Structure 1
Amino acid sequence: MSTLFRTDIAPEPYEEAAEYLDGHSATPHPVTLRIDELSAKLEIIGEDIRVRWLLTDIREIPDQAGNDMMVLRERGNTLRRVILRNRSLAPRLPYRTRSAPVTNRLRLTGWAFGAVASVALIIFVLVPTMANQLANFIPPEGERALAEATLDQIRSALDETGLQGVRTCTSVDGTAALKKIETRLTSVMPDAPELTVFVLDHGMVNAFTLPGGYLVFFRGLLDNAGSAEQVAAVFAHEMGHVISRDPTRHALRSAGSIGVLGLLFGDFAGGAMVLFLTERLIDAQYSQETESHADTFAQDLLIRAGIAPSALADMFARFRALGPEPTEMEKHFLSHPDLGDRIASARAATPAEFLTEPVLTDREWQALQGICD
């Protein structure tokens, strides 16, 4: 009787020397490899070592050293390795070149999305919430110390000579005119904040606030303003930030966001740029809301002080005339809302036939614009 196939012939026994990395140390252990045909497992046997891997779970990975060895691992374990100096075992490993199951890739994708969502939750929810809470516990002297240190850094950074910081402008008549604007605004507030006002001798057309009631104007803004009322409107806007303690909240939020991003990105090539752009995007979403609130505060304060809110619109119009409108992409990285919207809002807030009481005399206005002379 003859047959086409013989099923009673057992495979030849397999035994081979190899090296085994246990995943705990970098020292390879000499082992002997055997195949248990009944259980279809690879036995890894050495001194104090006895490990069994299913043949169907063994995967081959590239030999990163010299490409002259066969390196194996067990599916689901990324640390343990078996290293052979020949490929005699390859025919007995049916799935050694099989990729990870799709379900594993989907699981990894899910973990990746979860990680991104966690970071977003920390940066956009937890950090702002904590910053808002912590801002209420920082004492005034702490805010002023932070403001003084920050102002010194700004003055040094803007000084092109590198010898000393940008000077503050303190002409007597100009300072008196600026103080008159401050008094005009604070006199109609039931609980006026304590303010410290500076003018920096720099051509930048800008003004900003620091923690502790510090208001900083640049000479460039005074040079480009069309009237004392426009300067008063900017002053009122910055006071809105002081009242809301936006500078302190912003400082805490920025520090927290940069800390989280720094832990994630480290110092890899281009990491500093990623941190900068990401923080600018975060800052834009945060500041647009606070800028709108400060505009609303300024409009109300100006009306009570007898100044038309349209002065704020006039100042914004001058800002827009100084340069082209940003592109749609650039708008995502700007910390202020669209100027056109702010101009329309300020004009709409001005009551019909509203009469503005002059803020400064012509002589005082000239003194203010010459405060840095």
Structure 2
Amino acid sequence: MTDIYGAAPAVEEPEDKAVYADYVDGTDPVMHRVSLELSRSHLNIIMPDGERILWPLDEVRALKDQAYSDGVVLAQGFDDMARLKVDNPFVAKELRAVAPRLNRAQPVTNWGRIGAWASGAVASVALIIFVLVPIMADQLATYLPPEGEQALGDATFEQIRGALGRENAAVRLCEDSDGLAAIDAMVDRLAPDDDLPYPVRIAVLDHELVNAFALPGGRVILFRGLIDEAENPEEVASILAHEIGHVVNRDPTRDALRSAGSIGVLGLLFGDFAGGTVVLMLANQLINAKYSQAAETGADDYAHDLMRDAGLDPAALGTIFQRLMDEYGDAEGIAAHFASHPQMIRRIESAQAASEGGEYGLPVITEAQWQDMRSMCGDSHAEQDAPEDDENGGGRIERRVDEPDAGRGGGTLGGEN
């Protein structure tokens, strides 16, 4: 058919109205981008190669405690390990309307069969937890979706605040505006530009603990006690760079997988990113963590490079390590992670060696900004600190690297004995 001028009308491209989701078959830990079709009785999952997987609607279940508040993570029945992650909130809402048993809890039945499974599993639990999980942690970490890592990190962050608080009150966060600006300036000077799926988010806790660590999903925690102990802002910057190194290397996510055990690993892989057991274990692990020498060396090397690239002396990392060891010995706080470490002197020497031959310019932040950072938690901590581990704090800061793909991971500053 032609128009009045004899020309054929333009053919409009058909609009792609397909609905997409992410699918894991429960055997091969690979996420597949699939399309969905909904019939009267089935949810049709169409694989990239055209294969169709049919889930009867009355067997579709929604996972509990999963991190996708706008979407939903689905399974077929209670025994199938396949998972379907639907991010589209409208599709998730439609599925909730048509799947009659979507939110049904798993029945506790057939205790004889459960007992037999439990008996048969006892012999393999030690193998899984102590052998297979550590071996697989490096590989499995790459399969956790970024939003899941962030949800796990956020939940662990709140757990840590509660664990270090007192009188049922969480440790407060420092939020003085001038202190926030100083933190921003320090991060801008370091300028980590790694290609990561989420930003680095920095929080300062008003607690006298002399430590710092990073969580899954890009959170980095600095404690007021560490800032108080630092003699100059470059020492704080070097520790922050070290933690960003853990972020980039995804050390906290790997640690979460190692800490979670087999059940926790399955939950993390298939949607339970805020599960209470994993969060509790990871919070305790981070507060008392000792990373392997390889992980600490990797974070140190990253910090050396980041400091040099920013025109800052990487020897600052070795300087604060040495002073804290001399001052605290093996007592508490950050020094407890370092003092008994047989490789600590080598790490200090490595920071000094990384400093050689470099040209270092202006301070990481101005003297005024440094004073703003040191006072950002206010004076309230003087009355709230106590010799026990139940101290409180005050105020809040949560800052983000401006690059949308700027950071991840982490751990404590210490190493494994």
Answer yes or no: same fold by TM over 0.5. yes
RMSD: 3.4
In 2: Cα distance, 1:295 partner to 1:257 partner? 30
Does residue 1:198 correspond to 2:203, yes or no?
yes
In 2: Cα distance, 1:293 partner to 1:120 partner? 29
Does residue 1:320 correspond to 2:321, yes or no?
no
Question: Is the Cα contact below 8 Å between 1:287 and 1:335 reproduced in 2?
Answer: no
Question: Is the Cα contact below 8 Å between 2:257 and 2:264 reproduced in 1?
Answer: no
Aligned residue for 2:101?
none
Residue 185 of structure 1: how far off its partner (Å): 1.2
Residue 230 of structure 1: how far off its partner (Å): 0.6
The number of residue pairs the alignment matches comes to 235
Does residue 1:370 correspond to 2:375, yes or no?
yes
- C-alpha spacing 1:213/1:313, structure 2 compared with 1 (3 Å): same
Question: Is the Cα contact below 8 Å between 1:287 and 1:336 reproduced in 2?
Answer: no
Report the residue type matching 2:317 in the other structure. Answer: L
- C-alpha spacing 1:332/1:180, structure 2 compared with 1 (3 Å): closer
Counterparts of 1:156-195 in structure 2 under 5 Å?
Answer: 156-162=162-168, 164-186=169-191, 189=193, 191=195, 194-195=199-200
In 2: Cα distance, 1:332 partner to 1:223 partner? 18
Aligned residue for 1:217?
222
Counterparts of 1:1-373 in structure 2 under 5 Å?
Answer: 122-162=128-168, 164-186=169-191, 189=193, 191=195, 194-256=199-261, 284=290, 286-325=291-330, 338-352=343-357, 354-373=359-378
Return the TM-score normalized by structure 1: 0.56
Report the residue type matching 2:224 in the other structure. Answer: R
In 1: Cα distance, 2:199 partner to 2:337 partner? 34
Question: Is the Cα contact below 8 Å between 1:207 and 1:218 reproduced in 2?
Answer: yes
Question: Is the Cα contact below 8 Å between 2:329 and 2:336 reproduced in 1?
Answer: no
Give CA-to-partner distance per residue, 1:325-361, whole Å, 9 cap, x none.
48xxx99999966432221110011123633421111
- C-alpha spacing 1:331/1:200, structure 2 compared with 1 (3 Å): closer
Instruction: Give 3-state SS (helix, strand or coil) of 2:202's partner.
Output: strand
In 2: Cα distance, 1:167 partner to 1:141 partner? 25
Instruction: Give 3-state SS (helix, strand or coil) of 2:203's partner.
Output: strand
- C-alpha spacing 1:121/1:299, structure 2 compared with 1 (3 Å): farther
- C-alpha spacing 1:238/1:155, structure 2 compared with 1 (3 Å): same
Structure 1: 5+ residue stretches without partners: 1-116, 261-274
- Larger-gyration structure (1/2): 1
Where relative contact order (Cα < 8 A, 6+ residues apart) is larger, the structure is 2
Identical-residue share of aligned pairs (%): 50
In 1: Cα distance, 2:340 partner to 2:261 partner? 18
- C-alpha spacing 1:237/1:191, structure 2 compared with 1 (3 Å): same
Question: Is the Cα contact below 8 Å between 2:325 and 2:339 reproduced in 1?
Answer: no
Report the residue type matching 2:136 in the other structure. Answer: M
- C-alpha spacing 1:367/1:336, structure 2 compared with 1 (3 Å): farther
Give CA-to-partner distance per residue, 1:24-58, whole Å, 9 cap, x none.
xxxxxxxxxxxxxxxxxxxxxxxxxxxxxxxxxxx
- C-alpha spacing 1:353/1:238, structure 2 compared with 1 (3 Å): closer
In 1: Cα distance, 2:338 partner to 2:224 partner? 25
Give CA-to-partner distance per residue, 1:208-246, whole Å, 9 cap, x none.
000111000000000000111111100110010111111
- C-alpha spacing 1:126/1:334, structure 2 compared with 1 (3 Å): farther
- C-alpha spacing 1:296/1:215, structure 2 compared with 1 (3 Å): same
